[in-house]
């Protein structure tokens, strides 16, 4: 009985530890699908938001053991030729500890 209780508490602590080890604005323990702003410069587009250049990059994580990808703003800006960043958004999707995807979107001129 005592060993079962000790094992259950250990498992809960491990699950809690995994859930707080990953930085996120909003993260559900079992499932997450959220969008949030990362950066807004206050710059305005002369031709409207629809005319801005848009670049995206993502990272993928499997079982919190392997993370792959480059979602850096620097990489996105270079790939899309963005000279002036207007804002940056992030989308995070996760399913418990099995899968996590983070997509960074940069908007600019």
Convert the pLDDT of each residue in 59-82 to its tens digit. 999 988 899 999 999 999 999 999
Where do we find the tokens 């990808």? 69
Tokens encoding 100: 């996590």
DSSP letter for 109, please.
-
Q: What does the pLDDT read at residue 21?
A: 47
Phi/psi for 68 (5° steps) reads -135, 140
Domain that holds residue 81: 2-108
* CB-facing half-sphere around the CA of 54: CA atoms within 13 A: 9
Domain count, the chain: 1
For residue 46, the SS3 value is coil
**Residues in the chain where the model's pLDDT stays below 70:** 1-3, 11-27, 44-48
Phi, psi of 98 (to 5 degrees): -80, -35
């Amino acid at each position: 009985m005592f060993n079962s209780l000790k094992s259950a508490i250990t498992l809960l602590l491990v699950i809690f530890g995994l859930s707080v080890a990953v930085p996120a604005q909003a993260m559900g323990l079992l499932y997450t699908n959220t969008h949030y702003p990362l950066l807004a410069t206050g710059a305005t587009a002369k031709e409207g938001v629809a005319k801005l250049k848009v670049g995206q990059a993502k990272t993928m994580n499997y079982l919190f053991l392997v993370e792959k990808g480059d979602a850096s703003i620097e990489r996105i800006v270079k790939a899309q030729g963005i000279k002036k960043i207007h804002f940056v958004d992030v989308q995070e999707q996760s399913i418990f500890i099995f899968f996590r995807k983070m997509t960074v979107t940069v908007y600019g001129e």
